[in-house]
Amino acid sequence: EGSSAVFINNDVEFFRTNVGVRQGCILSPVLFNTYLEHIMQETLQDHQTSITIGGRPLCDLRFADDIDLMAGTEEELQELTSKLETVSRKYRMEINKEKIKILVNRSNNHKHTNIWLNGQKLEEVETFKYHGSYICNDGNSGKEIKSQYL
């Protein structure tokens, strides 16, 4: 037994179900991505990002259930993180706080960042592996190169 939701005119209504998409069903990733896309669109609605790449505004990268939020300031990142938590909760999606990491670009002498999610301070790291590649807070690619060739 589970619950399902229907979106009608930007409102969501939940109802109980005793049948659904089985784990491993080919529809499962399509439905999940559709659901998550709606959550992200609502989260980013009216957000003015301070990050641009190639002249284009950019505040998130997504692949399947991996979401990477980007911001130019600590305040902007906190705002995005809080909004994602609020919208996710509205649609009964839970963010796994154990998997969230904060990586701050240290090339501009930034100090440590305090980002909170639902009353819990998120862990800040110097490096992490993103889809098989290492990303470092100093912008150095040495760890990635070593992992590929040594």
Tell me, yes or no, whether 3 and 26 share the same domain: yes
Tell me, yes or no, whether 105 and 80 share the same domain: no
Question: For residue 19, what pLDDT is reported?
Answer: 64
Tell me, yes or no, whether 39 and 86 share the same domain: yes
Given 45, 70, 93, the domain boundary residue is: 93
Strand ranges for 1-150 from DSSP E: 2-8, 11-17, 52-53, 56-57, 60-63, 66-69, 101-102, 116-117, 120-121, 123-124, 127-130, 133-136
Predicted confidence (pLDDT) per residue in 22-61, tens digit: 777 888 888 889 999 999 999 999 999 989 989 999 999 9
pTM of the model: 0.77
Tell me, yes or no, whether 86 and 52 share the same domain: yes
> Which domain does 19 fall in, by range?
1-93
- The number of folded domains in the chain is 2
Tell me, yes or no, whether 16 and 59 share the same domain: yes
Q: What is the mean pLDDT of residues 7-21?
A: 81
Tell me, yes or no, whether 85 and 100 share the same domain: no
Distance, in Å, from the CA atom of 121 to the CA atom of 65, rounded to the nearest integer, reads 22
Distance, in Å, from the CA atom of 7 to the CA atom of 97, rounded to the nearest integer, reads 27
Quickly state the pLDDT bin for 145 (edges 50, 70, 90): low
Q: What is the mean pLDDT of residues 119-132?
A: 88
Tell me, yes or no, whether 76 and 16 share the same domain: yes
Tell me, yes or no, whether 7 and 77 share the same domain: yes
Tell me, yes or no, whether 3 and 18 share the same domain: yes
Predicted confidence (pLDDT) per residue in 65-103, tens digit: 899 999 999 999 999 999 999 999 999 899 999 889 998
Tell me, yes or no, whether 7 and 54 share the same domain: yes
Question: For residue 136, what pLDDT is reported?
Answer: 85
Judge whether 64 and 29 are in contact, CB under 8 Å. Answer: yes
